[in-house]
Amino acid sequence: MNKKQTPTIEDVARRAGVSRSTASLVINKSPLVREKTRLLVEKVIEEIHYVPNSNARALSARTTGNLGVIFMQDYLPDSTRISYNNDQHVGLASFNFSNGIMTGLSGTDYGIIMERFCSVKAPDALPRIVNEKRVDGVFIVGLPYSTQFIPNLKKTGLPFTLVGVGNHQEGVDSIYADAGDGTEIAVRELLETGHRRICLLNCSPSLPSHQGRLNGCLRAMEAYGIPFDPAWNIHGSTNNGQAAFHAFRAFWEAGNRPDGIVAANGQSAAGVMAYLYQAGIRVPDAVSIIAYEDSSLCGYAAPALTAVNIRKEDIGARAARCLIDRIKNPDKPAECIALPPYLVRLDSVQTR
């Protein structure tokens, strides 16, 4: 073999003294090959530094070797010039979920193609990588999406798994965080540390997790025999710090005085803290704050935010295994799994 030429599967087969089909079976890890033959072919592959042609393998197997990560968004930026102020959709949750997905795919033959997609603005549309059949399966990360989106995705026959906070449907592979469970943990922590006037800074009512968070808050308050005023379930128009700042300012300036706040995420908590700082109100001396969805924002905040860790990376890794299993076994029962959250105690809660 000319050293300047790239080794081929024919070179492997000839040097190992086997047929091309046998060499292909070894490369594709088929259990049909005898152990002695497998070891021989693998030795030759190592000696001549053969690298399988992924494009040729994809054509023969009618697969792409890629999985799609679709980030669902309520809008798509039309410019790279964005604000890094508190009016930005931070996107840390999607980033953490995708990190978990890539960890879960480590050691497999799958690559990743990512796409941002806004189903709200195009209710009947599907992502390009789905329409163009560029992937063998997709992860649908986050919300929102139109009511037609999942039924239309099912019609394609493409395997998919839902990933995110409250992102689940009956009969569909869904690996997710239950926002109600996490909110209940946060409210219970405030109650157990002596807080009684608790405000829930919820996510937008347009998201399914809004009601779940409220239900979790109500469960915790009911367990302590403390009524919850529906007017203390407040929300911004979006899940960013600026919207939280304005929503909480209106709440506070209406004369409400909570001693504890549970925020929908780190950026919302940061928006509340910005208002309290401007108003000269100290956290946690006067008001304690807990953020749902622990993130790097919580550690960088001053004081550092006590938060509910929803195990985003674990959710992503579990979703990766789920989708691979679905591709291998299309008829298996749907998995709908909520990973249990836990509390990370830092500096933003003070016992009353």
> What CATH number has the domain bearing residue 260?
3.40.50.2300
For residue 349, being part of any structural domain is answered with no
Domain shared by 165 and 105, yes or no: yes
Helices (H), the chain: 9-16, 20-27, 35-48, 54-61, 92-105, 128-131, 149-155, 179-192, 209-223, 241-253, 266-278, 296-300, 312-328
For residue 41, being part of any structural domain is answered with yes
Domain shared by 29 and 145, yes or no: no
Count of domains forming the chain = 3
Tokens of 47: 């000696």
Q: Cα–Cα distance between 103 and 301 in angstroms, integer?
A: 27
Asked if 345 contacts 289 with a C-beta cutoff of 8 angstroms, the reply is no
Q: Cα–Cα distance between 323 and 152 in angstroms, integer?
A: 18
Domain shared by 255 and 295, yes or no: yes
For residue 247, being part of any structural domain is answered with yes
Domain shared by 238 and 249, yes or no: yes
Q: Which of 97-106, 115-124, 158-167, 173-182 has the lowest mean pLDDT?
A: 115-124
Domain shared by 244 and 282, yes or no: yes
Query: What CATH code is carried by the domain that includes residue 55?
Result: 1.10.260.40
The 10 Å Cβ neighbour count of residue 279 is 11
Domain shared by 173 and 317, yes or no: yes
Domain shared by 41 and 70, yes or no: no
Q: Cα–Cα distance between 179 and 312 in angstroms, integer?
A: 12
**pLDDT tens-digit series, residues 142-190:** 988 899 999 999 999 999 999 999 889 999 999 999 999 999 999 999 9
Per-residue pLDDT for 24 more than 90?
no
For residue 350, being part of any structural domain is answered with no
Section 104-124 average pLDDT: 91
Section 67-87 average pLDDT: 79
Q: Which residue has the tokens 């530094």?
A: 49
pLDDT band at 92 (very low <50, low <70, confident <90, very high): confident
Domain shared by 268 and 119, yes or no: no
Which run of H or of E encompasses 263? strand 260-263
Output the pLDDT for position 58: 54
Tokens of 13: 């087969």
For residue 352, being part of any structural domain is answered with no
- Final residue of a structural domain among 61, 86, 102: 61
What are phi and psi for residue 293, nearest 5 degrees? 65, 80
* % residues pLDDT > 90 (the chain): 69
| Strand-strand pairing, 66-72 and 260-263 | unpaired
Of residues 219 and 52, the one with the higher pLDDT is 219
Output the pLDDT for position 195: 97
**pLDDT tens-digit series, residues 227-269:** 999 999 999 888 889 999 999 999 999 999 999 999 999 999 9
User: Mean pLDDT across the chain, nearest whole number?
Assistant: 90
Where does residue 209 rank: exposed (0-12), middle (13-18), buried (19+ CB within 10 A)? buried
Record the pTM.
0.81
Output the pLDDT for position 17: 93
For residue 82, being part of any structural domain is answered with yes
Output the pLDDT for position 319: 98
Q: Tell me the chain's radius of gyration from C-alpha atoms.
A: 25
Return the top range by mean pLDDT from 12-21, 107-116, 338-347: 338-347
Q: Cα–Cα distance between 146 and 167 in angstroms, integer?
A: 13
Range of the domain at 152: 66-178+312-342
Q: Cα–Cα distance between 326 and 335 in angstroms, integer?
A: 10
Output the pLDDT for position 61: 53
For residue 1, being part of any structural domain is answered with no
